[in-house]
Amino acid sequence: MSNDDESWLRVKARLRAEVGDDVFSSWFARMDLEQLADGVVRLSVPTRFLKSWIQSHYAERVLACWQAEQEQVGRIELIVRSAVLKTTVQPKPKAELMAASDGARGFGNGINGGNGVGRPMSAGDPGVHEALGGSPLDARLTFDSFVVGRSNTLAQAAARQVAAARRGDPVMFNPLYIHAGVGLGKTHLLQAITWAGNAANERKVLYLTAEKFMYGFVSALRTQTALAFKEALRGIGVLVIDDLQFLQGKSTQAEFCHTLNALIDAGRQVVIASDRPPSELESLDDRVRSRLAGGLVVEMGTLGEELRFEILKARVVSARSHHPSFDVPLPVLAYIAKTVTHNGRDLEGALNRLLAHNKLTGQSVTLEMAEREVRDLIRPQEPKRVKIEDIQRIVARQYNVSRSDLLSSRRTANVVRPRQVAMYLAKTLTLRSLPEIGRRFGGRDHTTVLHAVRKIEGLVGNDMALAEEIEILKRQLQE
């Protein structure tokens, strides 16, 4: 290895330490040193998109890292490696693709990276394909490992339907919008759609977290022409976006809206998951919200005890394929299913502990061991997610007014008080901000909400009857 090559290795290590693994593998993993001469470092990347991104975001940093290694470096030059120099990528066997999606993150990795891996896309710009690379997938999250129960039957059926659709089939519901609390299987279902769709090799399924959408996809759009963007979209059969609640920023939303409309209008399927229904995506523009609500919106409820039990059983079976000696008696599973009520992630955590204990100490799994190991995962019943709509509905019913009275500008006493109570409940039972609450109450100002909250707070201290009314309302909302 030449001196320069060694320097390059050290520069890369430096960069990685500075920007972190994720950023490094997204942008620099495929950057090569071509030449170092006369104080000019010539680096190459595979696409124009990468080049322009690095140039505008990291040029100085890369230069500084070089200068820390070799003082005489004065300038960095970025070039796009010509594709003909590199041999074309052969389609990889699936197992390898899965592995790639676990470890190496970054564009173009993973099964749905538009890296030309076995599936050349239409003749768009390679930079766009690059940028369209999806988020990493977990090989375990498939339909086979998804256990169906009362709370998720509809969502699972809709997801299967979407995954099974063929190119050119009429799109039944668009977008498919799945919402549920944390750990209830949203990501699992979305990735199952992605695996199934891509395995059938019918339509390209692109899975993106909202974050990836913001930092990869959107920025790629900005550097591409409208034509290149259209070309790229043409290659996507199904766009899957996870954790939509994290989508932020006005311009990102505009791009999202644009993408959503373009795909839906072109008859492409869009699938979305979020922790709340479209109506409660406070920061989204009304038009986007209504577009989202215009497809099929499905909620997944909490996992019932039976479903938890079935999930645990399935988990043990799959754990046993790697650890044949791992055996969990059914009463232990029943115990965990009964007591660990939180969500799917805690169920997994509980089993992992039993497995670790069993492996490390060689003791077999007993009820006693389980009681000891999972103690801290047993939480009091997770408080229910209260929705502003429910508050309005229940308060309206209680005070015998209509929901539209609550949202109206009427100021008669029989509406004012219930409205204040409802706003007070919205503030105390949900995490919504004052402006958000104001908006949901007929577009009121946040100071009006604040006034209502203070007013009711002041009253409940002295007015026993009101305090009791509010307690009853809270109980109804939380049961």
d(CA 322, CA 315): 12
Give the footprint of ligand ADP on this chain (CB under 6 A).
141, 145-147, 152, 180, 182-188, 311, 344-345, 348
Extract the tokens encoding 462: 């002295």
Q: How far is the CB of 340 from ligand ADP (least distance, A)?
A: 12
Selection from Mg ion, ligand ADP, none that 348 binds (CB < 5 to 8 A by kind) is ligand ADP
- In single-letter form, the type of residue at position 412 comes to T
Which residue, judged by CB position, is nearest to ligand ADP in the bound state?
Answer: 344
Nearer to ligand ADP, 28 or 146 (CB): 146
Quote the least distance from Cβ 187 to ligand ADP, whole Å: 3
Can you give the C-alpha Rg of the chain in angstroms?
A: 27
Strands 32-37 and 40-45: antiparallel
Residue 317 contacts which entry, ligand ADP, Mg ion, none (Cβ below 5-8 A, type-dependent): none
Distance separating alpha carbons of residues 399 and 417, to the nearest angstrom: 9
Pair 206, 135: CB distance under 8 Å: no
Strand-pair partners of 76: 41
> Is the backbone peptide bond immediately before 170 cis, with ω within 30 degrees of 0?
no
**Residue written as token pair 């070309």:** 231
User: For residues 32, 37, 41 and 45, what is the CA-based torsion angle, rounded to 10 degrees?
Assistant: -30
Residue ranges binding Mg ion (CB under 5 A): 186-187
Q: What is the DSSP letter of 202?
A: S
- In three-state secondary structure terms, 369 is helix
Task: Name the residue whose CB lies closest to Mg ion.
Answer: 187
Choice between 190 and 221, CB closer to ligand ADP? 190
Q: What angle do CA 239, 215, 187 make, to 5 degrees?
A: 45
Least distance in angstroms from the C-beta of 355 to ligand ADP = 14
Contact of residue 228 among Mg ion, ligand ADP, none (CB under 5-8 Å per partner type)? none
Question: Toward Mg ion, which CB reaches closer, 184 or 395?
Answer: 184
The Cα–Cα gap between 431 and 131 comes to 35
Identity of the residue, 155 or 221, whose beta carbon is nearer to ligand ADP in the bound complex: 155
3 state SS of 297: strand
Comparison of 36 and 184: residue with beta carbon closer to Mg ion: 184
Within 13 Å, how many C-alpha atoms sit on residue 446's CB side? 6
- By CB atoms closer than 10 A (0-12, 13-18, 19+), residue 60 is exposed
Choose from ligand ADP, Mg ion, none: what does 394 bind? Cβ within 5-8 Å by kind.
none
3-state helix, strand, coil in the chain (%, to 5): 55, 10, 35
DSSP state letters, 226-240: HHHHHHHHHT-SEEE
Q: Which is nearer to ligand ADP, 141 or 391 (CB)?
A: 141
Closest to Mg ion by CB, 248 vs 402, is 248
**For residues 110 and 126, which CB has a smaller minimum distance to ligand ADP in the complex?**
110
